[in-house]
Chains A and B, each alone.
Chain A
Amino acid sequence: MAIYSKEEAKQIMEKALSFSTADACEVNLSGSESGNIRYARNTVSTAGHRSNQTLVVQSNFGKKSGTATIDEFDDESLKKVVKRAEELAKLSPENPEFMAPLGPQTYDKSITYKEATAKVSPEYRAEVANSSIEPAAAKDVTAAGFFNDSAGFSAMMNSSGLFAYNQFTDASFTVTMRSNDGTGSGWVTRDYNDISKFDAVEASNVAINKAVMSKEAKAIEPGKYTVILEPAASVGLLGNMAFAFNARTADEGRSFMSKEGGGTKMGEKIVDERVNIWSDPLNPEVPTGTWNGSGQPLKKTSWIENGAVKNLAYSRYWAEKKGVDPVPFPNGFIMQGGDASLEDLIKGTKKGILVTRLWYIRTVDPQTLLYTGLTRDGTFYIENGKIKYPVKNFRFNESPIIMLNNLETLGKQVRIDGNLVPYMKIRDFTFTSLSDAV
């Protein structure tokens, strides 16, 4: 039993703090139960279950801090782990950037826990695998997939009186479907806090259809194309961009957010004015915890408003140094969408490429946020409002900043990897070479 209630967690942490002799002490307690199933070649390959529980104790004497961890919570173990953290603190070099623990905070009540997800059984997981394998086999397609579900809690408390507690559930699913002649491949991903929203058959069929549709792709010249990016295709680039909203690296002059002559791009318009990106822990589609690991409350925060930089993330240390309020990094982001469905976007496209996903994305130049990677698992040529034929995969070299400046149309939002991302039509997306990979 690795999931403790609020009261149980509180008791364990209070006990741990009672053993502290340091200037300050902060404890984080977490636990989770998770299960998974993996399949390939239309058969189950592995299945597993993990149970984790951890108490992390951070003690500090002045600016010297030490951390120790333990997975047993009887009195003796708690005493031992607190003592160890204190020993480590005394031995460690002084960290000039150490910040004393926060005092009591007020948090919103999170909506990240759904009972149905916590109750997923091995039989349910086997049925997920079967929902892929059976329809795949019937269409001369081979399935390889992975389903993982978890339920857990996290809590923290410190000697300054802070207490926080949250429970969460998660489920994620990906499947790759490959046609048995080796010329077509499709893929789908789904993730939820609430498993009752998941339909394994529907998801698997999306991937099967893409595998069949993408068979015998034609090669077309690389170059600049209008693209329709499915949310799974843009999320990687957008996520990398969001992660680079860091005030410190911008102030230090080593970020795409740094400005010529010094300073940052805060307040400047950097992308198309229809671009709005924010984070919201209480969004019912993509809820996250309402506090982070240092106990800071997470609130709805705007990052890009009408194309301009609205906020950069400030750590507590950097905020103090700069005399501003800290702005914690979010756990996910939401990008405003439009009304257009994927079908509408295709219909309105004279000549373009539909991209299912981008893969193996790596930084090429942090100065311009240039990334490279490849299309994968379903890339199609569109002409006069219709999908004409599948095309071979491309390598791209593109920056999300350039991409969001070349925005044509925003479509509907979809949950992807814990974020809400719209379908997007983008002009002049840069493909630099062709790949033979299927």
Chain B
Amino acid sequence: MKRRDFIQYTGLGAGALMMPSLLLGNDIPAEALLNPGMDIAIKKRMADVALNTAKSLGATYADARIGRYLNQYVFTREDKVQNVVNTESFGIGIRVIVNGTWGFASTNSVTEDGIKKATDQAVAIAKANSKFQKEEVKLAPVKSHGEVSWKTPIKKDFKDVPVSEKVDLLLSANAAALENGANYVNSGLFMVNEQKYFASTDGSYIDQDVHRIWPTFTVTAIDKGTGKFKSRQAMSAPMGMGYEYMDGLASEKLKGPEGLNLYRGSYDIIEDATIAAKQAKQRLTAKSVEAGKYDLVLEPNHLGLTIHESVGHPLELDRVLGYEANYAGTSFATLDKWKTKNFKYGSDIVNLVADKTQVGSLGAVGYDDEGVKTKKWDLVRNGVLTNYQAIRDQVHMIDQKESHGCCYSQSWNDVQFQRMPNVSLEPGKEKYSIDDMIKDVEKGIYIAGRGSYSIDQQRYNFQFGGTVFFEIKNGKIVGMLDDVAYQSNTQEFWNSCAKICDKDDYRMFGSFFDGKGQPSQVSAVSHGSSTTRFNGVNVINTGRKI
């Protein structure tokens, strides 16, 4: 499904970073999601068929990924269910190194014969490509983990929750929005379970059960007289959690300014839809921003996208080296800057960490898709660029000996490669709340939620919008603003970072659809932060007449 088809279909609008072929897999009844799938002993035997065949054909390394990908999506608008989709995709992907060159093939025939054929094909591709290969693949060593397993620590499996309950919840949220002044509302619930079995010639057999959930909506308010329409998106985040995220626990709510509620590890969709309807209406008459320099107070569900684009992407080593030059682009954060050991990415209080272990995050797994145990590492410490994101065949290029454990493939039938781990901004160390921060700002704008986003191919110049904007004057919020977007340069922006709220305000933003590679693959990733202040950022007015 093309991104446009998807958006048209769901009416969700600007929901994702890059919307891919989302509905992977074959449609199945909801009950079939509960089928346990292939027994682990058989998976091991099948994986060994691939590894042994590869070795017998001259591979110096091989790995096999048996994947079962279960998805459930529910789409509604106003008082109607538009669609309920259940899909399943099952197969095996085999990757080999022959003559120092990668080869990959996959099949949905997970039988001895099917696997042997696919392994033959992977070896043949490696051999054919080795004629053009100029640099031999060098893999950083990984210790054998033996037979291990990992599971997202969920409390409620979405597969155990009846579809009717999910439909009712979305329709209740829609009703709440309509009662509070919305003209239209589209809502959706996306639930994903990746059951992944990995085996490699290094001696690891890893069974993982990964869960993700994303509730979202777009509420639209219309003023027929003026012909104006404004929308307000959900303040939820996609999470690496089970259906318990939908519980709406009071303990996980935070009070934002002007009646805005913000959510941490539990989301109240009905309450958020109620507030959204009121805010969408409020936007219809909000003051149009006066362009100029403002101190920005950025809420985590907004700042996450800025972190994603201006920190996550430029520090992907394959981009830095030019492998993505024809698609996503390259990076300003070049190796020579990193090698100086004093490249000031941000101000002294800026600490950005990569983390594949953070509980509740979309990127959290026990082991990556090439059998490396996941970890947390620094990208920027005290404002200085310290490291990149790299996998087994890349770390030697930055004189490191250990993979960072951030290799991922969207499916059994796509080859795994380096993908962005969760990249997050550490909270401030001193006690400091959103209220404290607003009090300290003379002329500023508080921005919450995601909006329009665009950045250049080397990640210097960016422009971001948001979901809601509030004007700050002399330490107080004085009203809602509209037509706001800020433009800056990555290094300048992060060096203008003046203050970060403490850990009590820390929350995660996330995306299901970070796109990279040709053919393109998606990956899910979270970005945590506390509300953060950036001084003197250029704000433009985006209001135009046509």
Q: From B146-154, B223-231, B341-349, give the one contacting chain A.
A: B223-231
Q: From A213-221, A253-261, A272-280, A413-421, give the one contacting chain B.
A: A253-261
Nearest Cβ on chain B to A296's Cβ, whole angstroms: 15
Q: Select which of A47, A69, A262 is within 8 A of B129 by beta carbon.
A: A47
* In contact, B27 and A69 (Cβ under 8 angstroms): yes
* In contact, A437 and B28 (Cβ under 8 angstroms): no
Q: From B52-60, B172-180, B248-256, B536-544, give the one contacting chain A.
A: B536-544
Nearest Cβ on chain B to A438's Cβ, whole angstroms: 7
* In contact, B224 and A95 (Cβ under 8 angstroms): no
* In contact, A68 and B487 (Cβ under 8 angstroms): no
* In contact, A256 and B546 (Cβ under 8 angstroms): yes
Q: From B324-332, B421-429, B502-510, B522-530, give the one contacting chain A.
A: B324-332
Interface string of B220-242 (1 = CB under 8 A from A): 10101111110100000000000
Which residues of chain A are within 8 angstroms of B460 by Cβ–Cβ distance?
Answer: 435-437
In the complex formed, the residue of B with least CB distance to A47 is B129
Residues of B within 8 A of A (CB-CB), count: 72
Assess A260 versus B14: contact at CB under 8 Å? Given A36-B519, A369-B546, A437-B332. Answer: no
Interface string of B77-110 (1 = CB under 8 A from A): 0001111100000000000000000101000100
Residue A344 at the chain B interface, CB threshold 8 Å: no
Which residues of chain A are within 8 angstroms of B330 by Cβ–Cβ distance?
Answer: 178
Residue B415 at the chain A interface, CB threshold 8 Å: yes
* In contact, B132 and A126 (Cβ under 8 angstroms): yes
Assess A368 versus B29: contact at CB under 8 Å? Given A254-B222, A258-B227. Answer: no
Residue A88 at the chain B interface, CB threshold 8 Å: yes
* In contact, A68 and B225 (Cβ under 8 angstroms): no
Residue B401 at the chain A interface, CB threshold 8 Å: no
* In contact, B544 and A368 (Cβ under 8 angstroms): yes
In the complex formed, the residue of B with least CB distance to A252 is B184
Which residues of chain A are within 8 angstroms of B227 by Cβ–Cβ distance?
Answer: 253, 258-261
Which residues of chain A are within 8 angstroms of B518 by Cβ–Cβ distance?
Answer: 36, 38, 146
Which residues of chain A are within 8 angstroms of B545 by Cβ–Cβ distance?
Answer: 368
Is chain B's binding surface mostly helix, strand, loop or mixed?
loop
Residue B183 at the chain A interface, CB threshold 8 Å: yes
Interface string of A177-189 (1 = CB under 8 A from B): 0100000000100
Nearest Cβ on chain B to A401's Cβ, whole angstroms: 4
In the complex formed, the residue of A with least CB distance to B540 is A432
Assess A367 versus B228: contact at CB under 8 Å? Given A47-B128, A399-B546, A436-B489. Answer: yes
Which residues 416-475 in B have Cβ within 8 Å of A in the complex? 452-461, 463, 465
Residue B4 at the chain A interface, CB threshold 8 Å: yes
Nearest Cβ on chain A to B233's Cβ, whole angstroms: 13
Q: From A12-20, A110-118, A354-362, give the one contacting chain B.
A: A354-362
* In contact, B224 and A142 (Cβ under 8 angstroms): no
Nearest Cβ on chain B to A181's Cβ, whole angstroms: 13
Complex alpha-carbon distance, A198 and B330, angstroms: 27
* In contact, B483 and A45 (Cβ under 8 angstroms): no
In the complex formed, the residue of A with least CB distance to B133 is A43
In the complex formed, the residue of B with least CB distance to A91 is B29
* In contact, A368 and B332 (Cβ under 8 angstroms): no
Residue B38 at the chain A interface, CB threshold 8 Å: no
Complex alpha-carbon distance, A178 and B463, angstroms: 25
Which residues of chain B are within 8 angstroms of A399 by Cβ–Cβ distance?
Answer: 544, 546
Residue A44 at the chain B interface, CB threshold 8 Å: yes
Which residues of chain B are within 8 angstroms of A174 by Cβ–Cβ distance?
Answer: 326
Complex alpha-carbon distance, A71 and B4, angstroms: 25
Residue B134 at the chain A interface, CB threshold 8 Å: yes
Residue A305 at the chain B interface, CB threshold 8 Å: no
20 contacts between A and B (CB under 8 A): A40-B323, A67-B27, A69-B26, A91-B30, A97-B80, A144-B323, A144-B324, A146-B326, A178-B322, A254-B183, A256-B546, A261-B227, A365-B542, A366-B231, A397-B463, A397-B542, A402-B546, A436-B461, A437-B332, A437-B461
19 further A-B pairs in the complex, CB-CB below 8 A; given A364-B463, A370-B542: A36-B518, A38-B518, A40-B326, A44-B132, A68-B28, A87-B29, A252-B222, A254-B220, A259-B227, A260-B227, A360-B454, A366-B13, A366-B229, A395-B456, A397-B542, A433-B487, A433-B538, A435-B460, A436-B332
